[in-house]
Amino acid sequence: MVQPAEAGERRDSQPEPETASADRLGDLYARHVPAAIGFAYLLTGNRAEAEDLVHEAFIRVVGRLRHLREADAFDAYLMRTVVNLHTSRLRHLRVQRAYVAREGSGAVPTVAPHDIGERDRVWRALQDLPPRQRAAIVLRYFEDLSERDTADLLRCSAAAVKALTARGLETLRIQLGGDDR
């Protein structure tokens, strides 16, 4: 006599649909994303930008997986989407640059974005700050939180965040030798 399955027990050996779908998605990711990141890196010249581009492309292609003419050509669809997204980003950058040139933006930062020596100097100066000042500056400027959100995380008032940030920035200006405000 066959007994009914108890609660939570599956009678057949088939994986649950969610698990099978997640396994298939994980398999697609593992097979196609590393090569696509290498390809995107060749397009962008920047590892982080390449990873962002590929992850966005992967999400878009997976979202349209049911509508692909040839599901076996996933890698071709992924690469084409990477190229299209990269082209869109280049267009967006071109529009931004044209706007900045037209509007005549302010001074361009003099420190190169990849100046490792300058980054280390700023890092050491940050490490010398008292912990609460350092936390306020990191939350406000590196994490881009509002004064209120920073105050909530530090468990203090918004006025205290302003004071901590001002004192910390003043100390950094002195240590780093900058006097522009």
pLDDT digits (tens, 9 = 90+) for 103-130: 775 555 555 566 778 878 888 888 899 9
How crowded is residue 158: how many other Cβ atoms within 10 Å of its Cβ? 14
Instruction: Show me where the domains of the chain are located.
Output: 17-103, 116-176
Is the pLDDT score of 83 beyond 90? yes
Residue 93 gets which letter from DSSP? Answer: H
Give the per-residue pLDDT at 10: 47
Distance CA 78, CA 103 (A): 37
Q: Which residue has the higher pLDDT, 62 or 53?
A: 53
Q: What confidence tens digit (pLDDT) does each residue in 27-43 have? A: 888 988 999 999 999 98
Give mean pLDDT, residues 50-65: 89
Residue 16, pLDDT > 60, answer no
pLDDT of residue 5 exceeding 60, the answer is no
Q: What is the pLDDT of residues 129-170, one digit of tens each?
A: 998 998 899 889 888 889 998 998 888 999 999 999 999 999
Tokens (6 digits) for 71:
């599901």
Q: Which CATH class is domain 17-103?
A: mainly alpha
Dig out the tokens for 128 from the structure: 């010398």
The whole-number pLDDT of residue 2 equals 47
For residue 87, pLDDT beyond 60: yes
What is the DSSP code (8-state) at residue 5? P
Place of tokens 């397009």: 43
Instruction: Say what percent of the chain tops pLDDT 70.
Output: 78
Helices (H), the chain: 17-44, 47-63, 74-103, 116-128, 131-137, 147-154, 158-176
Question: Domain 116-176's class?
Answer: mainly alpha
Residue type, 154: L
Say what the pLDDT of residue 75 is.
83
